[in-house]
Amino acid sequence: MQPTSSSSRILQPVRPWYILITLLAALLLNFLPTSAWPWMPDWAALLLIFWSIREQRYVGMGSGFIFGLAMDVADSSLMGQHALAYVLAIYAASALSRRILWFPLGQQALHILPLLLLVQLVQFSVRAMPGAILPGLSFFAGPFVGALLWLPLTFILLLPQYQPVDRDANRPI
């Protein structure tokens, strides 16, 4: 019996080192000097949300806090700004993970958009409290790009987990 679609394929368990490498790559992408491009998504937030939905036992609020502090130091922003935003987004993503995974990828992106907007809104609010110069509305363009990237990102990140199609599964009985 042949599988009806590629979504019916069984995934192998994810390796913790693979999650760590992808999160570090996202952190390095955030370190790039892209402040002139307001539409650039927050890669660390996007991957933290992805892995907290897919693998809650490996990526949780502690991971979000650590990566948030790393972003605060690298960004020279208020200490705890990214950490608070990432922890809140991961908490919401973990709470909604079963619901999000139930939907097809296009609709998952619609669930991810508010989580990414939450990250930007928390950072915006923390910046506004001490009276810092506030960014314009283009500051909120990144979450929309991140939601659009959800489909290719999911495909790329899950590629190493796909099991090879067994030759015996295609033989008639």
Q: Which backbone phi and psi does 162 adopt, to 5 degrees? A: -70, 135
pLDDT digits (tens, 9 = 90+) for 52-91: 999 888 999 999 999 999 999 988 878 889 999 999 999 9
pTM confidence score: 0.84
pLDDT tens-digit map of 109-162: 999 999 999 999 998 888 888 877 777 777 788 899 999 999 999 999 988 777
CA distances from 115 to 85, 87, 92, 133 (A): 10, 11, 7, 24
Query: pLDDT-based confidence at 6, cuts 50/70/90?
Result: very low
pLDDT tens figures, 38-55: 788 999 999 999 999 998
Q: How many residues does the chain have?
A: 173
